[in-house]
């Protein structure tokens, strides 16, 4: 079928887009390459459509465009190509469009170089050799021939230009091969499976997408409504994805973790479930922020505990329980955060905890009892603070302790909890012993960036301290603001304030941090866990794990990379993903990772490792990850192997 006919069929409603397809994700470079291939008559691949009865298509077509009577063809493979062609030829997006129309608007063609570029006034204005592609497609070759004939210096090459104009205009008549999927046995489940298999290089559908495809049949606005909630939380500094929100809704509605249990949920029930999920998440984020200080995405951690807690709130009528039960909720959440409860088989663990909630008489106590059964002892030891960098499992805990114990700034003496500590604040991560001094003394990267060498200060305090050694500035801090050092769990033995006693300083501060953690946890419950002194070995074999975000600069790079991927409709990835051994020991922390691949379930696990050593790379490789050591390398992988022209549908 030629291009013009395909576009006419879209206008008539005979060709449409299925709801389970994601939106338009091509960028300008991909559009230029595609049009160049068409112009030069290079192969651009065939289309795959699902031909079905219109009354059935009404349940699965994206958008609110009118469909033709009888039968309709739903695009399974070819969305990006056909959307680009429609936008360029018609000068506007098709009715089913969802995405950034700037990717294909204002495309121009140079008659001399035969290059495609997007409009740039300084370069193209008043230059007759630059042809507006959309304008040519709509008005034809004639007006451009008349314009070119008025420029004497162009007349010698007029024959060449005429040929190129016709070659460009004839793109409308190129025939694209169409494969059709037909038959009464081709249900939406079968078609989605075909879509995933055929679209080998494009954006795959996760389990959540498959469940959402069924939900969108009677309620086409479901995806947009859920995306609106995600955008609201993103504005507050929390980056959740569609699968996560769907997991919350599923847990609240069914008491199960698996999306398959949504099959018996009616549309009105799901709509109310979304409202209830939004309210529950808002309440939980407020609780964790106000009581624990976990006020932005990097320190939230254990986000898959929220579906379980949301289910508990539903049991309480959608409201926060009294103070005693709130404390139990916080205790359970913190314990899950510390021991990485949801860092492995997430769906399985959520399912176990939901079952515990629904089968116990006193559900919160039952959840805590299950934790004790799974982890033997819930006390914290100094060994648990042996990680390093912002990727360490206990990094959010260090931030939390700063908030709940009202640590004081070393510059002003004011409580840091009075400052906005979120990601947009002026608060900075501070190395107590300067990095360059420790490296000069021969300490390892893990030791230099140990959690016990990190604390939080205002920007002004950080600048005032600069690169001075603790024995040079601790005295001044203590003289100006008595107790400010101790509020950060600084050992007050002055002999430990020198580099040659650095390891002793770390050990002493770890012990103080562990003691403060246990004190807070014990205060949340009437029955106190065993004291730290009784714990002879670390609960989880933490050791000194390698990897993780070392600096704010690395954190900013990772956030920018995540935002770029999200703009392409790809998952953001997990920051600080833990690689755990057979006995629960923490082996390494990956800066940014996709354990199920960038195309969930269809590509290998991927990780970004910035400024890491051989040990982290070997751990990532051993866990089956394809890793990249720079953002540029990861971007090239995404552009060349994930968003390849002709393979994204």
Helix/strand/coil (H/E/C) assignment for every residue in 81-122: HHHHHHHHHHCCCCCCCCCCHHHCCCEEEECCCCCEEECCHH
Q: Can you tell me the distance from the alpha carbon of 517 to that of 566, in angstroms, rounded to the nearest whole number?
A: 36
Q: Can you tell me the distance from the alpha carbon of 34 to that of 39, in angstroms, rounded to the nearest whole number?
A: 9
The answer to whether the CB of 598 falls within 8 A of the CB of 589 is no
Instruction: Assess whether 162 and 26 both reside in one domain.
Output: yes
Quickly state the pLDDT bin for 243 (edges 50, 70, 90).
Answer: confident
Mean pLDDT throughout 114-135? 90
Q: Is 194 inside any structural domain?
A: no
Q: Is 649 inside any structural domain?
A: no
Q: Quick one: residue 544, left, alpha or beta (phi over 0 = left, psi -120 to 50 = alpha)?
A: beta
Instruction: Assess whether 444 and 493 both reside in one domain.
Output: yes
Q: Output 214 or 365, whichever has higher pLDDT.
A: 365
Instruction: Assess whether 222 and 365 both reside in one domain.
Output: yes
Quickly state the pLDDT bin for 262 (edges 50, 70, 90).
Answer: confident
Q: Is the pLDDT score of 201 beyond 50?
A: no
Cβ neighbors of 87 (< 8 A, separation 6 or more) are 93, 94, 97, 101, 104, 105
Q: Output 396 or 479, whichever has higher pLDDT.
A: 479
Tell me the CB-side half-sphere exposure of residue 555, using CA atoms within 13 A.
14
| 541: its two tokens | 């074999």
Mean pLDDT throughout 336-344? 81
Q: Quick one: residue 275, left, alpha or beta (phi over 0 = left, psi -120 to 50 = alpha)?
A: alpha
The answer to whether the CB of 3 falls within 8 A of the CB of 173 is yes
Q: Output 162 or 203, whichever has higher pLDDT.
A: 162
| 148: its two tokens | 């070119």
pLDDT at 536: 27
Q: Can you tell me the distance from the alpha carbon of 508 to that of 452, in angstroms, rounded to the nearest whole number?
A: 9
pLDDT at 417: 66
Q: Output 324 or 220, whichever has higher pLDDT.
A: 324
CA angle, residues 399, 627, 577, in degrees to nearest 5: 25
The answer to whether the CB of 129 falls within 8 A of the CB of 157 is no
pLDDT at 486: 96
pLDDT at 475: 94
Q: Is 479 inside any structural domain?
A: yes
Sequence length of the chain is 649
Q: Is the pLDDT score of 57 beyond 60?
A: no
Q: Is 540 inside any structural domain?
A: no
Cβ neighbors of 75 (< 8 A, separation 6 or more) are 15, 16, 17, 18, 21, 47, 48, 49, 82, 649
Q: Output 391 or 490, whichever has higher pLDDT.
A: 490
> Any idea of the CA torsion for 398, 404, 407, 409, to the nearest 10 degrees?
90
Instruction: Assess whether 295 and 363 both reside in one domain.
Output: yes
Q: Can you tell me the distance from the alpha carbon of 626 to that of 67, in angstroms, rounded to the nearest whole number?
A: 44
Instruction: Assess whether 368 and 253 both reside in one domain.
Output: yes
Instruction: Assess whether 515 and 416 both reside in one domain.
Output: yes
% of the chain exceeding 70 in pLDDT: 82
- Asked which of 188, 214, 234 is the last residue of a domain, the reply is 188
pLDDT digits (tens, 9 = 90+) for 600-643: 555 678 889 988 878 788 888 878 888 999 999 998 888 777 76
pLDDT at 294: 86
pLDDT at 539: 28
Q: Can you tell me the distance from the alpha carbon of 39 to that of 108, in angstroms, rounded to the nearest whole number?
A: 13
What is the Rg, in whole angstroms, of the alpha carbon atoms belonging to the chain? Answer: 29
pLDDT digits (tens, 9 = 90+) for 444-497: 888 888 899 999 998 889 889 988 999 999 999 999 999 999 999 999 999 999
Q: Is 60 inside any structural domain?
A: yes
Mean pLDDT throughout 297-321? 91
pLDDT digits (tens, 9 = 90+) for 139-160: 999 898 888 888 888 899 999 9
Instruction: Assess whether 568 and 495 both reside in one domain.
Output: no
Instruction: Assess whether 243 and 214 both reside in one domain.
Output: yes
- Asked which of 534, 560, 590 is the last residue of a domain, the reply is 534
Q: Is the pLDDT score of 302 beyond 50?
A: yes
Q: Is 648 inside any structural domain?
A: no
Q: Can you tell me the distance from the alpha carbon of 380 to that of 516, in angstroms, rounded to the nearest whole number?
A: 10
pLDDT at 75: 77
Instruction: Assess whether 207 and 334 both reside in one domain.
Output: yes
Q: Is the pLDDT score of 196 beyond 80?
A: no
Q: Is the pLDDT score of 312 beyond 90?
A: yes
Instruction: Assess whether 493 and 573 both reside in one domain.
Output: no
pLDDT at 168: 94
Q: Is 541 inside any structural domain?
A: no
Q: Can you tell me the distance from the alpha carbon of 648 to that of 202, in angstroms, rounded to the nearest whole number?
A: 4
Strand order in the sheet with 71-77: 15-16, 71-77, 47-53, 178-181
Q: Can you tell me the distance from the alpha carbon of 625 to that of 621, in angstroms, rounded to the nearest whole number?
A: 5
Q: What is the mean pLDDT of the chain?
A: 82
pLDDT at 423: 47
Quickly state the pLDDT bin for 418 (edges 50, 70, 90).
Answer: low
pLDDT at 315: 92
Q: Is the pLDDT score of 110 beyond 50?
A: yes
- Asked which of 358, 375, 392 is the last residue of a domain, the reply is 375
pLDDT at 29: 87
Q: Is 441 inside any structural domain?
A: yes
pLDDT at 19: 61
Instruction: Assess whether 270 and 348 both reside in one domain.
Output: yes
Mean pLDDT throughout 58-64? 53
Q: Is the pLDDT score of 395 beyond 60?
A: yes
Nearest one of 583, 619, 576, 593 to 397, comparing CA atoms = 576
pLDDT at 513: 95
Helix (H, G, I), strand (E, B), or coil: what is residue 162?
helix
Domain count of the chain? 4
The answer to whether the CB of 307 falls within 8 A of the CB of 346 is no
Q: Output 165 or 467, whichever has higher pLDDT.
A: 165
Lowest mean pLDDT among 19-23, 208-212, 538-542, 588-592: 538-542
Instruction: Assess whether 525 and 394 both reside in one domain.
Output: yes
pLDDT digits (tens, 9 = 90+) for 519-562: 999 999 864 433 332 222 222 333 334 556 666 677 778 888 88
Pairing of strands 116-118, 574-580: unpaired
E strand or H helix that includes residue 249: helix 242-254
Question: Whole domain around residue 470: which residue ranges?
Answer: 383-534
Helix (H, G, I), strand (E, B), or coil: what is residue 450?
strand
């Amino acid at each position: 079928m030629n291009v013009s006919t395909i576009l006419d069929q879209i206008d008539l409603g005979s060709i449409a887009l299925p709801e389970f397809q994601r939106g338009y994700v091509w960028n300008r470079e991909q559009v230029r390459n595609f049009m160049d291939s068409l112009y030069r008559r290079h192969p651009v691949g065939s289309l795959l459509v699902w031909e079905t009865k219109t009354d059935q298509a009404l349940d699965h077509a994206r958008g609110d465009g009118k469909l033709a009577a009888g039968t309709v063809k739903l695009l399974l493979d070819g969305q990006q190509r056909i959307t680009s062609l429609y936008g360029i030829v018609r000068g506007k997006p098709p009715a089913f469009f969802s995405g950034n129309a700037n990717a294909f608007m204002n495309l121009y063609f140079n008659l001399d170089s035969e290059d495609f570029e997007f409009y740039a006034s300084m370069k193209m204005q008043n230059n007759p050799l630059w042809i507006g592609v959309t304008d040519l497609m709509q008005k034809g070759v004639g007006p451009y021939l008349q314009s070119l004939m008025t420029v004497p210096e162009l007349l010698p090459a007029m024959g060449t230009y005429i040929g190129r104009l016709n070659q460009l205009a004839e793109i409308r008549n190129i025939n694209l091969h169409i494969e059709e999927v037909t038959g009464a046995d081709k249900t939406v489940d079968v078609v989605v499976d075909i879509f995933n298999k055929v679209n080998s290089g494009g954006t795959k559908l996760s389990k959540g997408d498959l469940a959402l495809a069924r939900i969108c049949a009677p309620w086409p606005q479901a995806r947009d409504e859920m995306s609106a909630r995600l955008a609201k939380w993103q504005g507050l500094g929390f980056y959740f994805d569609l699968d996560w929100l769907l997991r919350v809704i599923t847990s609240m509605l069914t008491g199960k973790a698996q999306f398959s249990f949504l099959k018996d949920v009616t549309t009105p029930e799901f709509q109310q479930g979304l409202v209830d999920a939004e309210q529950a998440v808002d309440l939980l984020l407020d609780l964790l922020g106000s009581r624990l200080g976990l006020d932005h995405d990097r320190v939230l951690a254990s986000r898959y505990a929220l579906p379980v807690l949301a289910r508990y709130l539903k049991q309480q009528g959608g409201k926060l329980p009294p103070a005693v039960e709130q404390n139990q909720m916080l205790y359970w959440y913190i314990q899950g955060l510390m021991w990485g409860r949801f860092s492995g088989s997430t769906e399985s663990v959520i399912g176990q905890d939901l079952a515990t909630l629904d089968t116990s008489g006193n559900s919160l106590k039952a959840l805590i009892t299950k934790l004790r059964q799974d982890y033997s002892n819930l006390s914290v030891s100094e060994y648990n603070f042996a990680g390093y960098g912002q990727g360490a499992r206990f990094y959010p805990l260090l931030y939390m302790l700063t908030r709940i114990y009202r640590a004081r700034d070393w510059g002003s003496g004011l409580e840091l909890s009075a400052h906005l500590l979120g990601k947009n604040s002026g608060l900075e991560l501070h190395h107590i012993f300067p990095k360059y001094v420790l490296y000069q003394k021969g300490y390892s990267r893990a030791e230099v960036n140990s959690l016990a060498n990190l604390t939080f200060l205002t920007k002004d305090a950080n600048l005032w301290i600069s690169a001075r050694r603790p024995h040079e500035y601790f005295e001044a801090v203590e003289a100006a603001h008595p107790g400010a050092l101790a509020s950060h769990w600084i050992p007050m033995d002055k002999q430990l304030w020198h580099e040659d006693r650095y390891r002793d300083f770390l050990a002493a501060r770890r012990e103080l941090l562990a003691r403060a953690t246990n004190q807070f946890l014990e205060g949340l419950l009437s029955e106190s866990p065993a004291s730290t002194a009784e714990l002879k070995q670390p609960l989880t074999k933490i050791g000194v794990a390698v990897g993780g975000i070392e600096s704010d600069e690395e954190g900013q790079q990772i956030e920018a990379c995540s935002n770029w991927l999200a703009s392409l409709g790809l998952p953001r990835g997990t920051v600080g993903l833990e690689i755990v051994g057979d006995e629960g020991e923490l082996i390494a922390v990956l800066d940014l990772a996709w354990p199920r691949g960038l195309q969930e379930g269809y590509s290998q696990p991927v990780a970004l490792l910035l400024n890491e050593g051989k040990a982290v790379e070997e751990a990532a490789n051993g866990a089956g990850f394809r890793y990249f050591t720079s953002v540029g390398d990861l971007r090239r992988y995404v552009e060349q192997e994930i968003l390849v022209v002709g393979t994204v549908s």
